[in-house]
Copies of this chain bind each other. A is one copy, B any other.
Amino acid sequence: MANKEMYALGSQGSAIRELFAYGQAQATKVGKENVFDFSIGNPTVPAPSCIRESIEHILATRESAAIHGYTAAAGDLAVRKGLADYMNQTYDAGVGADNFYMTCGAAASLTISLKAIVEDPDDEIIVVAPFFPEYTVFIANAGAKKVMLPPDTDHFQIKLDELEAAITPHTRALIVNSPNNPAGTVYSRETMEKVAAILTKKSAEIGHTIYLISDEPYREITYDGLEILYMPAIYPDTLVCYSYSKSLSLPGERIGYILVPDSVSDKDVYPAVCGAGRSMGFVCAPHLFQDVVLQCLGKTSDMSIYDDNRKLLYNGLKDMGYDCVYPQGAFYLFVKSPEPDAKAFSDKAKALNLLIVPADSFGCPGYVRVSYCVEADMIRRSFAAFQKLIDQYK
Q: Are A275 and B116 in contact (CB under 8 A)?
A: no
Q: State how many copies of this chain the complex holds.
A: 2
**For chain A residues 41-79, which have a beta carbon within 8 Å of chain B?**
42-44, 46-47, 51-52, 55-56, 59, 63-65, 67-71
Q: Are A269 and B2 in contact (CB under 8 A)?
A: yes
Q: Are A252 and B288 in contact (CB under 8 A)?
A: yes
Q: Are A288 and B10 in contact (CB under 8 A)?
A: no
- A271: shortest Cβ distance to chain B, in Å? 4
Q: Is chain A's binding surface mostly helix, strand, loop or mixed?
A: helix
A2/B272 contact (C-beta < 8 A), A252-B70, A254-B286 known? yes
Q: Are A3 and B118 in contact (CB under 8 A)?
A: yes
Q: Are A253 and B68 in contact (CB under 8 A)?
A: yes
A5 CB within 8 Å of chain B: yes
A175 CB within 8 Å of chain B: no
Instruction: Determine the distance from Cα of A5 to Cα of B272 in the docked complex, in whole angstroms.
Output: 8
Contacts of A70 in B (CB 8 A): 42, 251-252
Q: Are B44 and A65 in contact (CB under 8 A)?
A: yes
A304 CB within 8 Å of chain B: no
Q: Are B286 and A7 in contact (CB under 8 A)?
A: no
Q: Interface centre among A107, A118, A134, by most B CB within 10 Å? A: A107
Instruction: Determine the distance from Cα of A78 to Cα of B47 in the docked complex, in whole angstroms.
Output: 23
8 closest A-B pairs by CB:
A252-B287, A10-B275, A107-B281, A9-B275, A10-B274, A46-B64, A6-B275, A2-B272
